[in-house]
Every structure is written in C-alpha cells, then in structure tokens.
Structure 1
Amino acid sequence: MLAFSLIGAPASADELRPAVIELTQRSAGKWILEWKLPVAANAGGMAGAYADPVIPDGCAFTADPVRRAAPLALLGSARLRCDSDLSDGRFGLGGLTGRADAIARFVPLDRPVQTFRLTADAPAARIAAEPDRWAVAADYFVIGTEHILLGWDHLLFVIALALLVRRGWAVVKAATAFTVAHSITLTAATLGYTGLPGRPVEALIALSIVFLAVELVRAVGQPERLTWTRRAPWLVAFVFGLLHGFGFAGALAEIGLPQTEIASALIAFNLGVEAGQIAVIAVLLALVAGLTRFAPKAENPAIRIAAYGIGITGSFWLIERVVS
C-alpha cells in the first residue's frame, strides 16, 4: 500500500502555488486588477488557457486586459474605473473547477487589505466593509493544511521520519520538534527578521529527504546500527525543520498576509500545517500497524520499497533544483 501510494504521487513538489488575483486602488476611482495562474493550478482545473477575471458591479475595464505567459505561470492585468464604493462587491476568477483554488487580495488606499480564499464553489470574494478576523483565520488554516498535504517535498520528509521512528511517543516527539522548528523560521522569515534565497532552500529540502531515505534503508538493512538520526530523531527533525520553515515562508510569501491580521493568519497557517501533518502520521502509523499485524513478513520489504521511492523522488528534485 505504501509503495502504490508513492508511485501514484505527483512528480513535482510544493503543489501549493495557488492562483492569485489582486485588486489594487491607485487613486480615486482608478484600480489595477492583476492575476497569476501557476501552471499547476491551470492544469488542476482551470477552464481554458486563461481564467476570466470577475470584477465588482460598478467597475468597468478602461482597456482590454493584457495577458502573457511567464515561466510556470500565466499572467494578466487590467485597468478598471470604479465609480462607487466597492463594499459588498464581488471579484475573483471564473473558471475554477474541481480542486483548483485561488487567493484574492483587495488593496484599497484608505482601508485595511483583505485576503480571501477562492474555490470552485466560491470563485468570487465578497468585499467586506471591515475584514472578518475569524474568516481570515479559517482561510489560512485551510491553506496551511493544503500546503502540507499537497506540498510533496515537506510531506515526504514527514513520511520518511515517521517510517524511520515508527514508535508512537518517539514519533510524536520528532513531529513536535519538526513543527516547532519550522514555525520558528516561518514566523521569522515572514516577519522579515531573517531569510534565505528560495532556490538553495528548495535544494536543501530535497537533500533532507534523500538523507532520511538513506537512513531508512540502513535502518531496515542494519537494525542494530544506531546512527545519530535513530538515537535522537527529534534533534534531526528540529534541524531540518528550521530549513523547511524557509520553504513554508516562501510559499506563504506568494500568497501574502492580510496587513491587519498578520498574527491570526500566521497562527492559523501554522495550525493548519500541524493538523495536516498529524493526519498524515496517524494514517501512516495505522497502515504500518496493520502491516505488522496481518503481514509481518512483508513489513520490511514494503518499508524498503517506500524508502527507495522517497529517495529517488528526493534525488530527482535535488538534481532538478541544482541544475535549473
């Protein structure tokens, strides 16, 4: 089951690159609408090559929208004239279907920035007179959960860590250490206290996956050999968690944070990541426990196959991120 789940996984990492649309006020009555459709989002359910922007009632295009292709993304922009207050107006992206989602940002000159999550069921956001703190927290909780579940580089690290440790309390300690570490660097990077270039961080994250895969193969083949990773998995998880936090921060930077609700959005995003992580670990340990009980002879071969699958995937990402 583990082998088939890995084989069926996407061949790309960090799938959380949602479409983004931003409505920004330039002066009285003049607005700029800009949108970005990552290739992954477009392939995941956009109707046609370009999604159609939805603009509020009372607004009109002053010229035809401009669309162009960029590396791994489709970009668009348009100038609008809005002759009324946009409170209770709606804007977003038409054509979202299936699991595709998007982030919408409303940036007026005289009011706080508002951020919304768009889905196929709700492809347009309703602009509020004042931002709703709980709605922001709920949206960012879902975004955080999606990031750990769809961001396969982070997810494979968690899977490899759980397979390496396997013991209930030890897994909890290692997972908690990973969460605390990535929360530290995520928060620090998001608030501008520190930061690392995105490309080297992504390569090192891939290297961390390869490292754990090698440790997992050794643990199956040489169970008596206690490496530092097997002696103190929480410490290794903490060190690599600091690195993964910069990766989370990069994804969150693309989405953006509402200026008036930075703290609640950041906390909700972290809680969402943790919830997704706990769900994955719980399912994985249940699968391993079932394998141990009903097919004990298949346990080590299955974990070895999973380790090689994780290692090959991590190696591919490492090479791709170093040479590209």
Structure 2
Amino acid sequence: MFFKLFVLLAFLFTFAQADIIRPVYLEVTQKTTDTYALFLKVPAKDDKNTPMKVKAIEGCKENGAHVRESAKGVYSDRYTITCDKGIKGKTIEIEGLENTKRDLLLRMEFIDGSSQSALLNPLHNTYIVKEDAAPTQIMQTYSWLGITHILMGFDHLLFVFSLLIIVKNMRRLLWTITAFTLAHSITMACATLGIVHVPQQPVEAMIALSILFLAMEIVHEKQGKPGLTSRYPWIIAFTFGLLHGFGFAGALAEIGLPQQAIALALVFFNIGVEIGQLIFVATVVLVSLLFRHFTHPSFMEKLEMYLVYAIGGLSAFWVYERILAF
C-alpha cells in the first residue's frame, strides 16, 4: 500500500480536540478625519485567562461608550478613538497577544477607500500604520491565512488524507486533487461574493459526513467491495469539494475581507489554501515512502486500518456533534 503512515496516528490524536484555528481580529475603521472605530474580537476558548486589548495609541484618546461583550466562545470590544493628527505613522500594539499562541489579523479601512492588512503574532504584536500600503500587503496576509487555515483545519486534512489512502496511482491522484481544488475554489468564491448563501452549520455537518463516507469506502474496498470512490475518485473529490468550499468561505467570512480589494484577498486566500494542501500532500507522500521502505507490509496494512477506523469514529462523532449544534 502506498499511503501508510504511523506518524499520522500521533497527528490524528494531537488535533482531535482542536478546533480550526480562528485568529484574533482587530478592525480599525476611519469614520471622520480624526475619528476611528475599533473592533477587537478574541476567540475565548483557549484564552479565557489572557484577555487582550489595544494599548493606548500615542496622540489618540478614547471617547464615547466602550462596549464589551462575550457570547458563543468569543469576547469583543467596541469603542471609538480620536487622533488629532490621524493614525498613520503611529504604532498599534496589542497587549496580551504575547501570552497566547494565536495570530491576530489587523484590518484597517480609511475614508479615502484605501486599506491596510497585517498578520501579527505573539513575537510581533505591534504594527506601524503606513502612509500608503502596497497591494502585496494584502497578498502576503491572506496567503498566509489560507495556509494556516488548511493546515489547522483538521477535518479538511482528514478528507484529503482519506483520498490519499484510496488513490494509489499518482496520475489518478493528480486528477483527484485537481478536482477537489477546482470544486472548493468555485463554491468558496460564490459564497464569499454573496452569489450563493448556505447555512454554515449544516455545511460543517456534511463535511464531517464526507470524511465518514470515505472511511466506509476504504473499509468496503478492503473487504473486496470497491465503491464509487475507488473507481471514480475525482467525481467524489469534486462533489464533496463543493461542500468544503463553503466551509472555507465560512472561515473567510469570520476573518473578513478588505472592501476595496475583495477579489485580490479572495484569490490569495485560495492560493494559500492550495499551498497548504500541497505541503500536506507532499509530506504524506514523503513519509509514506520512508515507512514503506523501513517497515514490513503486513504491519503497515494493519496500521492503515487502525487509522481508517480512528478517522471513521472521529468523523462520526463530529457528525453527531455538529447536528446537535443546529
């Protein structure tokens, strides 16, 4: 067998309790020449004891009501600041980010229609607002968000991994991955641009069901009853890829898009997703070749089945959990 990975057993249980990583989000919107609305959103599951805030910006003062809310695992701050000489050239610092393992997406919208984006992290929790930002800033930010989303999106990776177990021919694998990529690119673009509206919770349940379906197809194949996926893997990859695209769109909706560069951000988020997917596939291929070389085929056969049953059990749990969340 081609894809038989002991190392992914540890990978499976490491991430079994993890959600898709949601970055902290800070939006700064210019309202008038010297007034800015700030919105800080922090997923609170892992950071309940490490609250964050925007450090006082030099030359700016808070005015009006400061609204703090906490709901559905997220806490947020909304307030307005006044900066006599504007905010460009000044430093925005996020206190508390250094005590987490999260990234923070900073998005700034100005009244002249321009915008700026940056991805901060615990080691670099400050940003100097630029006078003018190049489009490459959006490209870099949303590409990296796409990469991290797919690599931390455990359900999407399990679907791809299951395809890798089923498809044993490299040419068929290329067509299968291409079909999956094409499908989720279509629905992600349609949902993000508002062409199609699909409730997110049923989509997440169906994504889990797609993983369970592949796990069952692998078991049936092992029993000498190959199913549709074994014969036409690209059809299954394309069909379920449409669902996964809606999942990616939901994540992108949480992050937000710069209004003057929606298409650019969407394209580079998708490019980031594809880069992350290729990194994962290449890693699986490389490690599988190493294990095939150094281990006995019978051991790898048993290990593969353990992995398949673990994937099936986890995905069944996700289906149940996500249906209950409707």
Same fold flag (TM > 0.5): yes
Query: How big is the shift at 1:200?
Result: 0.8
Moved more, 312-321 or 32-41: 32-41
Q: Residues 107-126 of structure 1: matches in 2 within 5 Å?
A: 107-126=109-128
Counterpart in the other structure of 1:230: 230
Gapped regions of structure 1 (runs ≥ 5): none
What is the percent sequence identity of the aligned residues?
Answer: 36
- Counterpart of 1:151, as a letter, is G
Q: 2:12 matched to which residue of 1? A: 6
The aligned residue for residue 139 of structure 1 is 141
Match of 1:248? Answer: 248
Change (3 A) 1:268 1:112: same
Alignment: residue pair count: 317
Amino acid across the alignment from 1:245: G
Q: Would the aligned equivalents of 1:20 and 1:103 in 2 still touch at CA under 8 Å?
A: yes
Work out whether residues 16 and 251 of structure 1, in 8 Å CA contact, stay in contact via their aligned partners in 2: no
**AA of the residue aligned to 1:201:** V
Contact 1:144-1:269 at 8 Å conserved across structures: yes
The AA in structure 2 aligned to 1:205 is: I
Structure 1 position 50 matched with structure 2 position 51: yes
1:308 aligned partner? 309
- In structure 2, list runs of 5 or more residues that go unmatched: 1-5
User: Counterpart in 2 of 1:291?
Assistant: 291
Per the alignment, residue 273 of structure 2 pairs with 273
> In the TM superposition, what whole-angstrom CA distance separates every residue of 1:273-293 from its partner, at most 9, and x where no partner exists?
111111111111223223333
Structure 2 counterpart of 1:296, one-letter code: P
Counterpart Cα distance in 2 of 1:123 and 1:205? 34
Matches within 5 A, 1:7-26: 7-13=13-19, 15-26=20-31
Matches of 1:102 and 1:270, distance apart in 2: 19
Could you tell me which residue of structure 2 aligns to residue 154 of structure 1? 156
**TM norm structure 2:** 0.91
Larger deviation: 15-24 or 257-266? 257-266
Give the structure-1-normalised TM-score: 0.91
Q: Tell me how far apart the structure 2 counterparts of residues 96 and 168 of structure 1 sit (CA, whole Å).
A: 43
For residues 75-90 of structure 1, the aligned pairs below 5 Å read 75-90=76-91
Q: What's the offset of the Cα at 1:323?
A: 0.7
Q: CA RMSD in A?
A: 1.9
Structure 1's 270 and 317: CA in aligned 2 closer, same or farther, altered over 3 A?
same
Q: Can you list the C-alpha shifts for 1:14-49, whole angstroms capped at 9, x where unaligned?
A: x23111111122334322211110124637xxxx43
State how far apart, in whole Å, the 2-side matches of 1:120 and 1:166 are: 41
Question: CA 1:280–1:106 in structure 2 vs 1: closer, same or farther (change >3 Å)?
Answer: same
Change in CA separation of 1:40 and 1:177 when aligned onto 2, cut-off 3 Å: farther
Q: Which runs of 4+ in 1 moved over 3 A?
A: 63-66
Q: Which amino acid in 2 is paired with 1:21?
A: L
Q: Aligned partner of 2:308: which letter?
A: A
Tell me, what secondary structure is at the counterpart of 1:27? Answer: coil
Shift in Å, 1:7: 1.8
CA distance in 2, matches of 1:111, 1:5: 44
- Tell me the SS of whatever aligns to 1:91: strand
Greater alpha carbon shift after TM alignment, 25-34 vs 201-210? 25-34
Deviations for 1:245-279, whole angstroms, at most 9, x for unmatched residues?
01101101111112232232222111111111111
Kept in 2, the 8 Å contact 1:166–1:285? The answer is no
Partners of 1:241 and 1:92 in 2: how far apart?
39
Instruction: Decide which moves more: 199-208 or 4-13.
Output: 4-13
The aligned amino acid for 1:164 is I
Deviations 1:114-150 (Å, cap 9, x if unpaired)? 2221112221222222332112101111110001100
Q: Is the 8 A contact 1:19 1:41 kept in 2?
A: no
Report the equivalent of 1:37.
Answer: 42
Local SS of the residue matching 1:131: coil
Instruction: Find the counterpart in structure 1 of residue 105 from structure 2.
Output: 103
> What is the 5 A alignment of 1:188-227?
188-219=190-221, 221-222=222-223, 224-227=224-227
**C-alpha deviation, 1:64, in angstroms:** 7.5
CA offsets, 1:284-310, max 9 Å, x none? 122322333332111211111111111
CA contact (8 A) 1:203 1:322 kept: yes
Deviation at 1:230?
Answer: 0.5
SS of structure 1 residue aligned to 2:31 = strand
1:166 partner letter: K
Q: Secondary structure at the match of 1:315?
A: helix
